A and B are shown apart, each in its own frame.
Chain A
Amino acid sequence: MTATTTDLSRLSTPYWQRTRWQTWLLIAVLIGGGVLMLYPFAWLVLSAFKLPADIIRIPPTLWPEEWSLDAFQVVLSHKIGGGSLARSYLNSIFVTITTVIAVLITSTLGGYCFARLRFPLREPLFYFVLSTTMVPFLTLLIPLYVVMDRLELLNTLWVLIVPSIFSSFGIFLCRQFVYGIPLELYDAAKIDGAGDFTIYTRIIVGMMKPVISVLAIFSFRATFNDYLWPLVTITDAGNYTLPLALRGIGNSFGWFDYSKVMASSLLTLIPPLIVFFIFQRNLVKGIALTGIKG
């Protein structure tokens, strides 16, 4: 940047207000970068509509010569072992929604309990929960599999839900947030005779909306995209979640039929895209707000 000379007229204006051409240059560079980011994504979307002859062309062409929905039709009727893409879709949605709801309840309740309620061993318990995040999942993978085997949960959808019911990160985030809620609100409700649980449902949950949407996205992403844990615990194709079904489709169609792989990938992306566009703004605000900065 060349504009280093002191320009008094600019000093009272916000930081982002540069001279006009600098701003346009910046936007142009950022859009250029954005195009690079979207480039692989464009291949995914456009290839899903290609015919087999089109997809193996050398050199490859980004734009389909003839638009076709064949790949979607094939993929939707394709059997993956004892399951199908549609079945995996339902599995994924069931597992994700159940987990997200569970995480939201336990995290908000946990944040409230750890920040405002009295019970024995409160602080040691909280620091214990926090310290569990230091242990990599890979270390717990083998023994957790054994535990799930003993509980006879292997190969059911519950094996994907149960280990995620409590989230250390979520409890930590919510506790920080509840500390920021004025004590007066809590005391006033207490004087009015409200019990702990009423205060939680009537006051705390309502005030935690910003943190809830951040947590919902994180939890959605972690559950919906999870691959390793389902890979290990689910062997029955009827209980496959979408990442596993995609792997199956990737294995059963070769380069020649790659439009099928891209079509199923595109179908898989619909729920995350919806969630993403609803919550994107909250995500940026939420991260600024959760105090991750310090």
Chain B
Amino acid sequence: MAVTAGSSPTGAAPVRSWRAWLSQYSWLGMGFAFSLSLFYLVMFVIPFGTAIWLSFNNWDYIQKPVFVNTRNFDKLLGDPGFWNALWTTVRFSAVEIFVALSLALLLALALSHLRPVYQYTLLAIYNLPVIMPGVVSVLLWKWLYRTNGGAFNAILESVGLPAQPFSRSPDQALWCITLMVVWIFLGNSSIVLLAAINEVPDSLLEAAQLDGASAWKRFTAVTLPLIQPAMAYQVVTSIIGTMQMFEPFQLMPGPGHSTRTLSLYTYQLGFEVLNLGYGAAVSIAMFVILLSATLFELQRRRKSWDY
């Protein structure tokens, strides 16, 4: 590092050495760094610090916040609402990721056997729901899930199956949302996987084929290890995306608290019951859980992709 040049004590006037120190840097770079720091200070550091601080206080937005030490976190540990929301979030997230990723992998594998022109055209169709605002998807699916006269029940009845309550049933509501979310993100996940599969060298697959490896063996021994980083990326972004998902749970809720996730719980505490301190505590818990889940997943995957 040439940074030490500025501090050379060769008897030069301090002003000169200060200038020398400064002259090695780019004005554009420093200007950018300054505005960036200012932005992240106001939009990230202060809010994040406030969230931590708030979690040790009680505040209803009107009166002065009251310091309550760790009482919010004590309350959280014994709050069935929190544990219920966490359990709902985890079930939704795990099932959504497993189903969506399996389907996306199948889709990407199938597409990889086609010429690029067909790949793009078919992907465009599968990718269509991704571009729709979440609110549009929810309003649409809510209507399709309707108990009386909904399209899905009409299909079930036309093949002789009994009509289902779907979103009206506490047992089915969460899985109705999960199916919709799989529908939304399927195409998007397969883009990343397809990009990775297309990069697997043909020569490796041909060599494996020459050695008599079956299609399944070629997939598990050649393709799958090589697309591991893309899978990891997809899993991690899906964890982050599903844990924070909000629209479906607010706009298509099941009965009672059957579809109340951590994100909806945080929102309700902060903006409906105005218990901002406790809301902040729940959101901090959410941050810790998300961070651990992400790091755990990265660590687990990393082991298998050191080749």
Q: How many A-B residue pairs have CB under 8 A?
A: 281
Contact residues in A for B286 (Cβ distance below 8 Å): 136, 138-139
Q: Which of A1-16 contact B (CB under 8 A)?
A: 1, 3-4, 6, 11, 14-16
A106 to B149, CA, bound (A): 50
B94 contacts partner chain A, Cβ-Cβ < 8 Å? no
Taken residue by residue from 126 to 155, chain B's Cβ proximity to chain A (1 for < 8 Å, 0 otherwise) reads as: 111111111110011101101011110010
A246 to B133, CA, bound (A): 10
A38 contacts partner chain B, Cβ-Cβ < 8 Å? yes
Contact residues in B for A30 (Cβ distance below 8 Å): 107, 110-111, 114, 122
A119 contacts partner chain B, Cβ-Cβ < 8 Å? yes
Looking at the assembled complex, report how far the CB atom of A195 sits from the nearest CB atom of chain B, in whole angstroms.
8
Are the CB atoms of B230 and A247 closer together than 8 Å? Answer: no
Contact residues in B for A258 (Cβ distance below 8 Å): 143
* Partner of A165 from B39, B127, B244 at Cβ < 8 Å: B39
What DSSP secondary structure best describes chain A's contact surface?
Answer: helix
A144 nearest in chain B by CB position? B47
Are the CB atoms of B149 and A58 closer together than 8 Å? Answer: yes
Known: A40-B183, A136-B243. A118 touches B29 (CB 8 A): yes
User: Number of contacting residues on A, CB 8 A?
Assistant: 99
Contact residues in B for A293 (Cβ distance below 8 Å): 192, 195-196, 199, 227, 229-230, 233
Looking at the assembled complex, report how far the CB atom of A238 sits from the nearest CB atom of chain B, in whole angstroms.
19
Contact residues in B for A268 (Cβ distance below 8 Å): 133, 136
Are the CB atoms of A272 and B270 closer together than 8 Å? Answer: no
Are the CB atoms of A23 and B113 closer together than 8 Å? Answer: yes
Are the CB atoms of A59 and B125 closer together than 8 Å? Answer: no
Contact residues in B for A225 (Cβ distance below 8 Å): 132-135
A97 contacts partner chain B, Cβ-Cβ < 8 Å? no
Looking at the assembled complex, report how far the CB atom of B267 sits from the nearest CB atom of chain A, in whole angstroms.
7
Contact residues in B for A232 (Cβ distance below 8 Å): 267, 271
B54 contacts partner chain A, Cβ-Cβ < 8 Å? yes
B280 nearest in chain A by CB position? A142
Are the CB atoms of A120 and B33 closer together than 8 Å? Answer: yes
Contact residues in A for B175 (Cβ distance below 8 Å): none
Stretch binding the partner chain, chosen from A65-73, A122-130, A181-189: A122-130
Stretch binding the partner chain, chosen from B10-18, B66-74, B76-84, B204-212: B204-212
A294 nearest in chain B by CB position? B229
A179 to B15, CA, bound (A): 35
B157 contacts partner chain A, Cβ-Cβ < 8 Å? yes
B32 contacts partner chain A, Cβ-Cβ < 8 Å? yes
Are the CB atoms of B113 and A40 closer together than 8 Å? Answer: no
B42 contacts partner chain A, Cβ-Cβ < 8 Å? yes
Are the CB atoms of B128 and A41 closer together than 8 Å? Answer: yes
Known: A40-B183, A293-B229. A59 touches B123 (CB 8 A): no
Taken residue by residue from 35 to 61, chain B's Cβ proximity to chain A (1 for < 8 Å, 0 otherwise) reads as: 011011011101110110010000000
Known: A37-B126, A142-B271, A250-B139. 9 other contacts (CB 8 A): A15-B113, A16-B112, A58-B148, A106-B36, A120-B33, A145-B271, A200-B28, A221-B130, A228-B267
Closest 7 CB pairs of A and B: A117-B29, A119-B29, A143-B50, A143-B47, A288-B195, A225-B133, A117-B26
Residue contacts A-B, CB under 8 angstroms, 27 given: A11-B210, A18-B113, A26-B113, A27-B114, A37-B126, A38-B128, A40-B129, A44-B140, A57-B149, A62-B151, A117-B32, A119-B30, A119-B32, A132-B40, A136-B283, A141-B266, A141-B283, A142-B271, A143-B54, A196-B29, A272-B131, A272-B132, A276-B124, A276-B127, A280-B124, A284-B123, A293-B230
Tell me the A residues contacting B by CB distance below 8 Å: 1, 3-4, 6, 11, 14-16, 18, 22-23, 26-27, 29-31, 33-34, 37-38, 40-41, 43-44, 47, 56-60, 62, 106, 109-110, 113, 117-122, 125, 128-129, 132, 134-147, 162-163, 165-166, 195-197, 200, 221, 224-225, 227-228, 232, 242-243, 246-247, 250, 255, 258, 261-262, 265, 268-269, 272-273, 275-277, 280-281, 283-284, 287-288, 292-294
Tell me the B residues contacting A by CB distance below 8 Å: 24-30, 32-33, 36-37, 39-40, 42-44, 46-48, 50-51, 54, 107, 110-115, 118-120, 122-136, 139-141, 143-144, 146, 148-151, 154, 157-158, 183, 186-187, 191-192, 194-196, 198-199, 202, 205-206, 209-210, 212, 214-215, 227, 229-230, 233, 240, 243-244, 246-247, 251, 262-263, 266-267, 270-271, 276, 279-280, 283-284, 286-287, 290-291, 294
